[in-house]
Structure 1
Amino acid sequence: MRRSRFYYLVRIQYLGFRYSGWQQQPDRLTIEGMLVKTLKFILKDTKFKLLGAGRTDAKVSALDGVFELFVEEKELTDLNGFLLLFNKNLPQDIKVTEITPTTADFNIIQHSKSKEYVYLFSYGEKNHPFCAPYLTNVMEELDIELMINAAKLYEGTHDFSSYTARLRPNAKVVRTIDFCGIGPNTLIKASFFPNTSYALTVRGQGFMRYQIRMIMGALLQVGMGNLCIEDIKASLIPENNIKMTTIAPGSGLLLNEVNFG
């Protein structure tokens, strides 16, 4: 019997600075919206839909974003040619890096084993304006060693209800972070970057909305002396009912890797 639907896993990179996040929204420029607009143009009358993994917030970028493309009735027989055509019609700040066939059994949400996010930041003298899309700057002094110690407290399985902006009913607040650490930024470099910048790397299967940015916000508060190690420990005990309030800017965050195991 002739197949009526074809499935593809698509990996992309994008600079999120001018976008209102991944998810398509009316009257907003979004990554998903731009992908849909471009696919409508190159696929003509062929019906399709897409589903993303690791949906990002406004101004958040990706070095390894991924979505599943469902194409009705028409198989993409020349994937290299399709990749070239797709990139030719996308704006300069979105690039498709790979497209591979998959099957109806594959589920991009359920089969994602881990996601790695990186948050880039610096402190001290104000950064060159060209840093704005990639690097958050804190002009106050930061105690980096204290932040490094505090970051390790997030590793393991914890109740992260204090680390999301809006707690939805029946939300899955117990999450496992496999790795959380701060080190020198070696991921992105440019001539206009400060001499020293840092990267918070967080790896786990899934995260709530704003979770990474609120972890970064809390760590910055630790670095500035407004919070201490004990405050971070207490925030991970739900009975304390502590609400973390600092959300780090979206423009320092990027989705670095999505693994399917």
Structure 2
Amino acid sequence: MANTCTDHHNDDAEPAPDATAPTPPEQTWHLTIAYDGSAYAGWQVQTKQKTVQGELRTRVRLLFRSPELKVYGGSRTDAGVHALDQQVSFTAPTPPDMTPDKLVYVLNRWLPDDIMVLRARICPGAFNPRYDNAGKAYTYCIAPGRRVNPLFARFVWRTPRPLAVPAMREAAALLTGEHDFSSFAANPGYELESSVRKLYRLDVSEQHGLIFINAVGESFMYKMVRGLAGYLVHIGAGHAPAADATRVLAARDRSQAADSAPPQGLFLAKVFWNDDEWRHYEPLIPPFTLI
């Protein structure tokens, strides 16, 4: 599905309050943000816990003087998961001098250093990134059996031993395609009509002593990517042959796969707006170069 939002570029001065001015017309905004999720209990607002959505919503409500404003995200990332391309929307009364450049400037002054607004757009109609996207890509980072530079240690899963990458690739090929992925979702069937998903790509690559799992799909169930990553590490560690992936898929039972990978190695890497955009996608490796 094509993204119909339009870019605007004007001044970036902060808006001045005007108590006598009439209420401005509502506009739907579309933001792209990045964040280091290490200090957050995930994207979604939670009671008494710091979340990315909560931090962003507080600032947006202040900026637009709209205490009931709702902020929607394209992916409900888990606690400790990071994002390079999280998509956000909200609708708010928007003064004529509130431009996308100005919004980016002000929010980035107000937000904590581990959350950054990359881009802002005004949409001509209704828009919700959770439902209006055409697919997503995630990258999972692994340090197999080795110490890593402490400057990026919090962005990788350090496994206790080296991993057999060829076996991981063989299993990944068996998992690619349209399948029932109940065996890899934390809550199979939760709020879902179907647990069948189309996985366009599941690649395993090596660079600089690290292993990267790239998952590209139409949509993903809750903790599905972490489930896939944990299972591929299970295969790479020699706990099962690559062909076991076929059995696990057919079982449609979460207990038949390995434990999920921990959250710190996972990045929401890219959101697609056009149906074939994923075909030309090349993941940023390593993804934490943008954090």
1:8 aligned partner, one-letter code: W
For residue 214 of structure 2, what is the aligned residue in structure 1? 201
Matches within 5 A, 1:36-51: 36-45=57-66, 47-51=68-72
Show structure 2 runs of 5+ residues with no match.
1-22, 275-291
For residue 199 of structure 2, what is the aligned residue in structure 1? 177
For residue 83 of structure 2, what is the aligned residue in structure 1? 62
The one of 135, 146, 152 aligned to 1:131:
152
Residue 10 of structure 1 aligns to a residue whose secondary structure is strand
2:118 aligned partner, one-letter code: T
TM-aligned CA deviation for residue 259 of structure 1: 1.1
Corresponding position: 1:216 with 2:238: no
For residue 244 of structure 1, what is the aligned residue in structure 2? 257
Query: CA separation in 1, counterparts of 2:108 and 2:43?
Result: 18
TM-score by length of 2: 0.80
TM-score by length of 1: 0.89
Matches within 5 A, 1:148-167: 148-167=169-188
Query: CA separation in 1, counterparts of 2:189 and 2:250?
Result: 19
TM-aligned CA deviation for residue 254 of structure 1: 0.2
TM-aligned CA deviation for residue 45 of structure 1: 4.2
Query: CA separation in 2, counterparts of 1:19 and 1:179?
Result: 29
The one of 198, 212, 227 aligned to 2:240:
227
Q: Taking every aligned residue pair, what percent have the same amino acid on both sides?
A: 26
Residue 120 of structure 2 aligns to a residue whose secondary structure is strand
Residue 132 of structure 2 aligns to a residue whose secondary structure is coil
Q: Deviations over 1:130-163 (max 9, x none)?
A: 3332111112121111111111112110000111
Show structure 1 runs of 5+ residues with no match.
186-194
TM-aligned CA deviation for residue 46 of structure 1: 6.3
For residue 268 of structure 2, what is the aligned residue in structure 1? 255
For residue 190 of structure 1, what is the aligned residue in structure 2? none
Query: CA separation in 1, counterparts of 2:211 and 2:272?
Result: 24
TM-aligned CA deviation for residue 169 of structure 1: 5.1
Residue 170 of structure 2 aligns to a residue whose secondary structure is helix
2:270 aligned partner, one-letter code: E
Q: Deviations over 1:213-259 (max 9, x none)?
A: 01000011101111212221111114678632411010000001001
Query: CA separation in 2, counterparts of 1:130 and 1:107?
Result: 35
Query: CA separation in 1, counterparts of 2:128 and 2:75?
Result: 13
Mean CA deviation greater in 237-246 or 129-138:
237-246
Corresponding position: 1:27 with 2:48: yes
Residue 90 of structure 2 aligns to a residue whose secondary structure is strand
Do 1:126 and 1:139's aligned partners in 2 also have CA atoms closer than 8 Å? Answer: no
How many residues in Structure 1 have an aligned counterpart in Structure 2?
A: 251
